[in-house]
Amino acid sequence: MIRNYSETRFGRISYLIRDGKIPLILMHGFGGTGNTFLRIEPYLNENFKVIFPDLLGHGHSDKPDIDYTIHQQALAINDMIKSLNLDKIIIGGNSYGGWIALDYALNINEPEALILIDSAGTNRTFAEDGMVNEVVDEIMKVRNYKNRDALIKIAENNGRPSEKINLNDLKRLSCKTIIIWGKNDNTIPISKGYEYKNYIRNSEMHVLDSGHTPQISNPEEVSSIINKIIE
């Protein structure tokens, strides 16, 4: 994969890309980068045009002075999609990235398929428990992107009730939706996965023997599930 950059209305997004025919965009969780999906890339069908972006405020992407709402992140991803002239995309993400994918599907453009991997969006966040500084400090111990202020803004935004996904809105989705969840997820309980399954009519649920990031712990299994979308 190679690294490239795309200008968006909020700043520049960095992404890893592999050539192919069918656009597959996967977005990382809070505090992560596109690199968190690198372990699945070798197992993904060669027909996928694989794109792993660093979300705004993360990694090699810009850290602009914005509110970092979920919709702003989704709009920035849409700008990237347009700049690459992509259509008929498959989009998804893990945790925070799944939340952004849901906003994209509900409020910008319904994709060919949606992939939710231990997705946030309806769960209680650590900001609501007053843990913003503690969590961000832990992330900064292993990251070197000088993005503490951006992460704090993102976390605080994610704690706002107005940012949560309305479950009844999920009934509007008609695209094929793949829900992948680690049965040992201690960050977002598996009950949230089943909640998505109950509200999204064209959805299927896959439970793996993993924690919150199955794309890291179970890359072959996750890739196999994703590959079935086009097989």
Bridge partners, 26 (sequence order): 92
- Is residue 109 helix, strand or coil? coil
Mean local confidence (pLDDT), 128-149: 84
Distances (CA, A) of 66 to 10, 31, 57, 87, 214: 8, 17, 10, 28, 31
Torsions phi, psi for 2 (to 5 deg): -115, 155
91: number of CA atoms within 13 Å, CB side?
A: 25
| pLDDT, tens only, 201-212 | 999 999 999 999
Q: Which two tokens stand for residue 177?
A: 């939706």
CATH at 113: 3.40.50.1820
What is the total count of domains within the chain? 1
- Is residue 94 helix, strand or coil? strand
Torsions phi, psi for 41 (to 5 deg): -55, -45
pLDDT above 80 (res 145): no
User: What type of residue is 224?
Assistant: S
Domain region containing 104: 2-227
pLDDT at 148: 86
* Confidence band, pLDDT 50/70/90 cuts, at residue 91: very high
pTM of the complete model: 0.94
CB count, 10 Å around CB of 47?
Answer: 12
- 86 neighbors 23 (Cβ within 8 angstroms): yes
